[in-house]
Structure 1
């Protein structure tokens, strides 16, 4: 049984964040269509093109349009053309899909007619999930993955989408961890990606319609944090693995790769961890991440999904002078957040079950 999440009473102000402001701007002043509405309104008032409001509004509309076009072109250059996706023909494999983010994605695709296979050591949280076939599998065991892969091929067909979502968090200082805990963490959070990709990628390459590989990483892989040495090391490795794999797959344009580097998710994996700054670094709801992943898969695109806003700019942290980096860490509270960590309790903690990002 999952440990119930501690409930806290928060004011409505806690929902206000940089990301909320950005979402509003993206559908208003930073949207090309809206930007061009403004000079059109001025023209409806019969203002001349030489008036200051017209000049400023047209200049802004051109600037926003060029930014939008540049972003589209940059994405095309980086990731190429999309692949055709027919959900009725897709076989989607999700590791750690018995609960949390993995189960959320599985349920959405199951209801939409895709064939979904969930791999997890834990039982499904939702027994009413439609369109989902559950396979009990420990992703740290190569033999189990090989066996389940054969069963999926026999029961459902050749997988076309692989979502590597399984993860665990030990939440201890390095010297407080047993060697077995370190090994289990690295195997679940990193090596399992190698096992599943080696198992399912060849079938995608043979498939005429190609496939998509989704890698769930974390901003902690870029930043590191106290009491997360094993998790940070694994997520850094996962990010490097994904980028190297994407480079190797350039000769297979029909294979798409999606890297996801979220901040702190509102899942049982990090129960008890309090975000140091909810305005700059708000806790991310799994539904928000799921929406972005599903959108990229549906469009047949390669992508890099980072949320909240700081997660998309985290690479710039390493550009800062080391002194500024230390000050930033101190102000952000990143190295004290795990002091209130609760995580999964009871048998789930003792078994170190890999279930969600």
Structure 2
């Protein structure tokens, strides 16, 4: 299951500089509690008086960063509870749309680590990986999902990790979409989640543990020209994820508390699905490479935690979009090139592709 390499051009060193890289460096330096406390300790080693302005500022900064870190930890625990124990030898992982892209990468990683992995896709994988079993299945068809689930149960056991990753994008203006294309988008991007949840969630409840990953998109918050069907389906997943988490929280079976939910809202991914899309800003909205996103998803799954994975940096704050005045939104869309970025797909150059 190899991932096709994207065609890249030679870039200058400064073109690799992004706001995400700057945030990464800051979060592991002055915004990290350990480093923040090193500053007053270093000043004290130079016999700086405690009442010196530099010492007061350094201690105040370290205290603020420490308090923020503690409150952030408490917030996560209140929101998501304690993590569950994950033992890959006892887990069965189902990945929809796992024949290529992000889904294939996650399947390959878990397969190489010795986990039992079942990939559901309509197209054959490009290679074989030990520990990964392929089941040809259109996840937009409830009957096919149920039949595949029975076979997985016989072959591997009861699935306890579900990664709903399958997706499709036509990249056409609204008036050029056919009814069949609209139906296909909603079936694959949205209804497939209902099919897989209704099929695999009962098994997780019976096992008393589980993890469900819902892969949406940052475009679910803002929409985009030439992607009405895609963005509508991804926006619906935000509500589905919230409702699922709420139902599990109040489920009468205590085992539901050990079923974790993860929402993934990435920006533009470096996969074939988006290869013809122009990046509005390489600095503020860099293309997310599949291995970066896969690392974040796998890390959260392995830790047995619920949570949100949002890359690049702006995706973590995109919820603020709804708070902006309408006029400001229009200016941001125009300056940021949100709608013109999808123009190549709207000119008949787009192609269907299962999403990772």
Say yes or no: TM over 0.5: yes
Matched, 1:273 2:277: yes
Say if 2:210 and 2:258, in contact at 8 Å, map to a contact too.
yes
Q: Could you tell me which residue of structure 2 aligns to residue 318 of structure 1?
A: 322
TM-score, with structure 2 as normaliser: 0.94
Paired with 1:344 and 1:4, the residues of 2 have a C-alpha distance of 23
Q: Could you tell me which residue of structure 1 aligns to residue 22 of structure 2?
A: 21
Gaps of 5+ in 1: none
Q: Could you tell me which residue of structure 2 aligns to residue 186 of structure 1?
A: 186
- Going from structure 1 to structure 2, the CA distance change for 1:17 and 1:194 (only over 3 Å counts) comes to same
Q: Output the aligned Cα RMSD.
A: 1.9
Moved more, 146-155 or 134-143: 134-143
Aligned residues: 350
Say if 2:172 and 2:346, in contact at 8 Å, map to a contact too.
no
Alpha-carbon offset, residue 342 of structure 1:
9.0
Q: Could you tell me which residue of structure 2 aligns to residue 131 of structure 1?
A: 131
Matches within 5 A, 1:1-357: 5-127=6-128, 129-208=129-208, 210-251=209-250, 252-341=256-345, 349=351, 352=352, 355-357=354-356
TM-score, with structure 1 as normaliser: 0.94
Paired with 1:113 and 1:22, the residues of 2 have a C-alpha distance of 34
Gaps of 5+ in 2: 251-255
Paired with 2:117 and 2:163, the residues of 1 have a C-alpha distance of 11
Q: What SS is found at the alignment partner of 2:257?
A: coil
Say if 2:6 and 2:270, in contact at 8 Å, map to a contact too.
no
- Going from structure 1 to structure 2, the CA distance change for 1:305 and 1:4 (only over 3 Å counts) comes to closer
Which string of whole-angstrom CA distances, capped at 9 and with x for unpartnered residues, describes residues 289-342 of structure 1? 111101110111000111111111111111011111111111110100111239
Which string of whole-angstrom CA distances, capped at 9 and with x for unpartnered residues, describes residues 99-139 of structure 1? 11001111111111211111111111222x12111111111
Say if 1:158 and 1:204, in contact at 8 Å, map to a contact too.
yes
Which string of whole-angstrom CA distances, capped at 9 and with x for unpartnered residues, describes residues 234-283 of structure 1? 00001110111111110321110000000000011111101111111111
Q: What SS is found at the alignment partner of 1:274?
A: coil
Alpha-carbon offset, residue 16 of structure 1:
1.0
Which string of whole-angstrom CA distances, capped at 9 and with x for unpartnered residues, describes residues 51-71 of structure 1? 122111111100100111111
- Going from structure 1 to structure 2, the CA distance change for 1:158 and 1:186 (only over 3 Å counts) comes to same
- Going from structure 1 to structure 2, the CA distance change for 1:139 and 1:283 (only over 3 Å counts) comes to same
Paired with 1:139 and 1:131, the residues of 2 have a C-alpha distance of 21
- Going from structure 1 to structure 2, the CA distance change for 1:115 and 1:344 (only over 3 Å counts) comes to farther
